[in-house]
A and B are shown apart, each in its own frame.
Chain A
């Protein structure tokens, strides 16, 4: 069953190589990460279980007469977002290190930046996936009337998820070099999530209370600015996390 020499194989020998292509490389890496997560399902399960448990606990410890739903729900939503996101981020580089597959990836011709962007895309999909389950759960349990504002709410979730994925992936890369990765990751990243989660929570609160969107604009602009600055900065700084 050896490969041997076939006419089809012969044409492959003279075909040459393709130059590294940023987007194709990033998407391939993202797809690989998501495929692995899909097969093992460990982080996604952990995140979903955490999300559902949190919603239930918050629901049953809540006194509806003391606090209206739209005051409590944003806090619940964004706490779940942050901590379930962290669960996913840990495994982002963990899967590369168990058999040192990362060394093989670094020894290939793909650029460091495309590795980073690929992993950010995978983490973004992960976080967005968990949110896709959490949002309806929160809306249901807290009996929220979101109505037409769903679109805006989803937009906020996506913006916040992008920032979380970018910063989280970078710090996951840093933490993977240490002994205490799972403890270190939340410690390092939580101050970075502050300008992300607070604007997101505030904007969600405005929407859920039915207040006009213009009032929430400063918060929304802050969120978008954070995304722009940190996605760029993290791409620039990522190659320095690799020993060379």
Chain B
């Protein structure tokens, strides 16, 4: 017996379209609160100066965008090829977009930090270089999604790319690390210093929590939007 090539949305399972999402609003408030705390209520780093505070935004964005978003994209792509569930496709789509945003934050804050710390806008440091390549990869993935007309083909083809992207990530890390090993940068960035003084550590952890909330809130909203769009397309086609 052939497996279903696509699931059919039952009308009763449509998510509601809410004008304001409570969870998202909450997470935005949380991020705002953490920014306030970071700027005014956290001590300034003696060595690195006020610009160091970018770190409270840069690192959580990196963790969510690089590890969580790309991880979700990779896993849902591979699972889609196996299970063919539309929800996995929507998860991949949402993770890619939200991940692109978060990685964009990393790529925007990185040069600002670099400029204030070392006087150059860009440093070919291992992590940020990898982030750049991954950002381009996810961008290519989203452009592919936009270029395929039929929803079934779109899900299948982007899952193929997502699965290969999963394999690519370790190779990019290795390549960049090997490259960096030859040209050590001016200062080695070690943002995850476990030896942060308590107030800075607290701010960092709060920021981590706030960004995680924001990520999942955006993911949920984006997935809901995708479900509505797909349901509408199905109704129009019928």
> Is this pair of chains taken from one and the same complex?
yes
Query: Which positions in A face B, CB cutoff 8 Å?
Result: 167, 170-171, 174, 177-180, 184, 187-188, 190-192, 194-195, 198-199, 202, 218-219, 222, 225-226, 229-230, 233-234, 237, 240-241, 243
Q: Are A240 and B160 in contact (CB under 8 A)?
A: yes
Q: Which 9 A-B pairs have the closest CB atoms?
A: A195-B171, A178-B147, A191-B137, A188-B140, A195-B175, A187-B140, A180-B147, A174-B157, A240-B160
Q: Are A184 and B178 in contact (CB under 8 A)?
A: no
Q: Are B174 and A191 in contact (CB under 8 A)?
A: no
Please report the C-alpha to C-alpha distance between residue A195 and residue B169 in the assembled complex, in whole angstroms: 10
Known: A191-B133, A237-B164, A243-B153. A178 touches B144 (CB 8 A): yes
Q: Are B171 and A222 in contact (CB under 8 A)?
A: yes
Q: Does B161 count as interface, using CB distance less than 8 angstroms? A: yes
Extra pairs beyond A198-B175, A237-B81 (8, CB < 8 Å): A171-B161, A179-B149, A188-B140, A219-B178, A222-B171, A222-B175, A241-B156, A243-B152
Q: Does B200 count as interface, using CB distance less than 8 angstroms? A: no
Q: Are B133 and A194 in contact (CB under 8 A)?
A: yes
Q: Does B114 count as interface, using CB distance less than 8 angstroms? A: no
Q: Are B164 and A218 in contact (CB under 8 A)?
A: no
Please report the C-alpha to C-alpha distance between residue A167 and residue B140 in the assembled complex, in whole angstroms: 15
Interface residue ranges of B120-168 to A (CB < 8 Å): 133-134, 136-137, 139-141, 143-144, 147-149, 152-153, 156-157, 159-161, 163-165, 167-168
Q: Does B179 count as interface, using CB distance less than 8 angstroms? A: yes
Q: Are B144 and A192 in contact (CB under 8 A)?
A: no
Q: Does B172 count as interface, using CB distance less than 8 angstroms? A: yes
Please report the C-alpha to C-alpha distance between residue A66 and residue B160 in the assembled complex, in whole angstroms: 45
Q: Which of B136, B149, B160, B172 contacts A174 (CB 8 A)?
A: B160
Please report the C-alpha to C-alpha distance between residue A187 and residue B146 in the assembled complex, in whole angstroms: 13
Q: Are B164 and A177 in contact (CB under 8 A)?
A: no
Query: Which positions in B face A, CB cutoff 8 Å?
Result: 81, 133-134, 136-137, 139-141, 143-144, 147-149, 152-153, 156-157, 159-161, 163-165, 167-168, 171-172, 174-175, 178-179
Show 18 A/B contacts (Cβ-Cβ < 8 Å), sorted by A.
A170-B164, A174-B144, A174-B160, A174-B161, A178-B148, A179-B147, A187-B143, A188-B140, A188-B143, A191-B172, A192-B137, A192-B168, A194-B172, A195-B168, A198-B175, A237-B160, A237-B163, A237-B164
Residues on B with C-beta less than 8 A from A167 are 164
Known: A174-B157, A188-B140, A240-B81. A234 touches B175 (CB 8 A): no
Residues on A with C-beta less than 8 A from B148 are 177-178
Please report the C-alpha to C-alpha distance between residue A184 and residue B148 in the assembled complex, in whole angstroms: 11
Residues on A with C-beta less than 8 A from B178 are 199, 218-219, 222
A7 to chain B, nearest CB (A): 46
Residues on A with C-beta less than 8 A from B141 are 188
Known: A184-B144, A187-B143, A191-B137. A233 touches B164 (CB 8 A): yes
Known: A198-B175, A222-B171. A184 touches B164 (CB 8 A): no
Q: Are B157 and A241 in contact (CB under 8 A)?
A: yes
Q: Which of B133, B149, B152, B160 contacts A241 (CB 8 A)?
A: B160
Please report the C-alpha to C-alpha distance between residue A234 and residue B139 in the assembled complex, in whole angstroms: 21
Residues on B with C-beta less than 8 A from A174 are 144, 157, 160-161
